[in-house]
Amino acid sequence: MIVYFPFVLFAAGLLIAYGSAGLPRQAATIAMVAAGSWSLVLLVDPGSATWAIGPIIATVLLPRAGQRVRSNFEGLTRRAVTLTVAMLVALFAATRLPIGENPILLSAVPWLLGAVGTAWFTSPIDEPERLQGQALMIAAVAVVILSAVPADPLTAGVAGAMALMPIAGGRGRIPGPVRPAFSGVLLLTAAGSAVLAATGLVLGPISLGDLSIDVGGPVLLASAIVLVVGSAASAAGIEWAALLAVLALVAAAPALRWSALAALVAVATVLERDAERPAWLAVGVVGLTPVLQALASPTWSARVQAVALGLGLVMMLFAARAGMLRVLVLPATTLLVMLFLPSLSPSNAVRFQWVAALGAALLIARPLLSTLTGESPKDAIRDRLLAGLLLLAIGARDSFGLGELAVILLLIDLAIVRVDDVPGPASAWSGRLILLARSNWPPSATFAGATLAVIGALQASLVLGLLAAVMFAVLQLAPLLDRQALSPGPDRPHSSLRWIGPVVSVACGIAPAMLLRMLRL
């Protein structure tokens, strides 16, 4: 009978939270978190209860108004429908992914916690409720994965602490005098990681207590990329968000990896909220992969994982149009998917390729249709073509690794090279360098990445290769089709860092030409 107590506590907390305000509502929210921790203890082991520390502290730091906010009939209906749909989806997921022989009402509590967070985030009464919803969603990502893939107390506690990041994103800013030094440290760390990755040094997992970190060669290179992006293109004062991306890449525990990515999305959408819902949906879809691995039936789990990875990446590319979502969340998500792809079987890799191909076609169709109908597209056609080529390249899996190299080059182009306006006048040497770095001709990351994407896609299949070739051809006409300037990225007050993008672009444009020459392609 005790196994049903967590569900009863959660239901009581939910009713009180929706029927009260002020301290009673805070206490009810803490009760729902406690119910999630109680269910985790019964499902896994008592040590995992450390997960609850982070979301409880986040709830305490988000005070509620002493009186209930007045709402109209439309608002009440929207909130009720949102909560009902979210909870039905959570119950369906709990029934399809049961945890052993435990009762469904016990296994469903972690999923229901995420449903409440999603409802509060989607239809919030005020800003504190929106932040509370984000904190609960991050906590739910961690607790759902912990219930499927158990972790030790320290790992569970750090994963739960990611629920504090929505608050840190709104309040935590690096002081102005410290920013250049902090960015410099990130760049030096990125250089060290890139050197270690280039030497081919194989490092085993590093353990800090029960917290395990993977520092293999591909992980080091991926960490170097996000560190460069975080130092050169992140919003002023939030450069520390690059450390969340690094944590998502190096963490060995799935609960910590995907909760860190969810926390990164929360920080990235503090300033740019235009496409935050697709970004959260992408994190939710991609974060299902470890749960499917542990709980789903082997007959369909692998197939669904391949489709989930493709859909999540496509949704993230739709969301990452500007701001931190583009310069930091998109590279982190793409690199995480790249690290996961080698584990797919050849048949499931083909499924991923077709999902990526359909997503690429949708990406370029949207702005083209807007242009043909006379509407003003929200983003540049050039950027969507590059995103489509990125999708085709990531599924190439060619023997030379040209698709992976193309993905890295296209990420550099999307996340670093194109996030600042061209300084005028364009006739100056700085303006000429930036225009060259953004061009479709060598030496630039755009040309090298697009060319390698076509070659890699052709080696994967003829259909993917032809689609990539069409995108590459249309890319040459993109300046004629785009009716707007490229969307400006986040403000960077340190003008010296503006040189990083053009220099990296030109360097990346020369290197693949030398590689192709050595391979005689």
For residues 135 and 1, give the distance between their C-alpha atoms in angstroms, rounded to a whole number: 30
Question: Taking a C-beta distance cutoff of 8 angstroms, is the pair 231, 351 a contact?
Answer: no
Closest alpha carbon to 39 in 103, 95, 131: 103
Count of residues making up the chain: 521
Measured N-to-C along each axis, helices 381-394 and 402-412 cross at an angle, to the nearest 10 degrees, of: 150
Residue 164, helix vs strand vs coil: helix
Core vs surface per residue 212-242: b (16+ CB within 10 A) or e: bbbbbbebbbbbbbbbbbbbbbbbebbbbbb
Dihedral in degrees, nearest 10, Cα atoms 243, 41, 286, 398: 80
Q: Which residues of 272-305 are buried (b: 16+ CB within 10 A; e: fewer)?
A: beebbebbbbbbbbbbbbbbbbbbbeeeebbbbb
Predicted pLDDT at 346: 85
Half-sphere exposure of 123 (CA within 13 A, CB side): 17
> What is the rounded CA–CA span in Å between residue 251 and residue 235?
24
Task: Look up the pTM and report it.
Answer: 0.87
Which alpha helices (DSSP H) does 373-425 contain, by range?
381-394, 402-412
| Nearest 10 degrees: Cα torsion 376, 379, 381, 385 | -150
SS3 208: strand
Return the pLDDT at 426. Answer: 47
Tens of pLDDT, residue by residue over 360-397, are 888 887 766 665 555 555 667 788 888 889 998 888 77
| pLDDT at residue 134, as a whole number | 94
The tokens describing 381, both together, are 């056609």
**Contact by Cβ (8 Å): 440, 476:** yes
**Contact between residue 31 and residue 134 where contact means Cβ atoms under 8 Å apart:** no
Tell me the C-alpha distance between 60 and 249, whole Å. 30
Radius of gyration of the chain (CA): 23
Integer Cα distance of 291 and 215 in angstroms: 23
Residues 6+ apart with CB under 8 A from 195: none
Averages of pLDDT over each 10 residues, the chain, 521 residues:
84 90 90 94 87 94 76 76 92 89 89 94 88 94 92 90 90 79 84 78 67 77 85 75 90 91 91 84 91 85 90 90 83 90 86 89 74 59 85 80 84 73 50 63 75 85 86 78 50 46 63 57 49
pLDDT of residue 225: 85
Domain boundaries, the chain: 2-171, 345-521
CA–CA gap between residue 171 and residue 166 (Å, rounded): 9
Q: How far apart (Å, rounded) are the C-alpha atoms in residues 380 and 369?
A: 13
Question: What is the identity of the amino acid at 174?
Answer: I
The pair of structure tokens assigned to 192 is 């060290």
Residue 439, helix vs strand vs coil? coil
Answer yes or no: are the C-beta atoms of 446 and 413 closer than 8 Å: yes
Cα separation of 153 and 248, whole Å? 18
Q: How many whole angstroms separate alpha carbon 29 and alpha carbon 231? A: 37
**What is the amino acid identity at position 441?**
W
Other C-beta atoms closer than 10 Å to the C-beta of 149 total 16
| Residue 91: C-alpha distances to residues 1, 140, 247, 268, 495 (Å) | 20, 14, 31, 29, 51
The amino acid present at 326, given as its one-letter code, is R
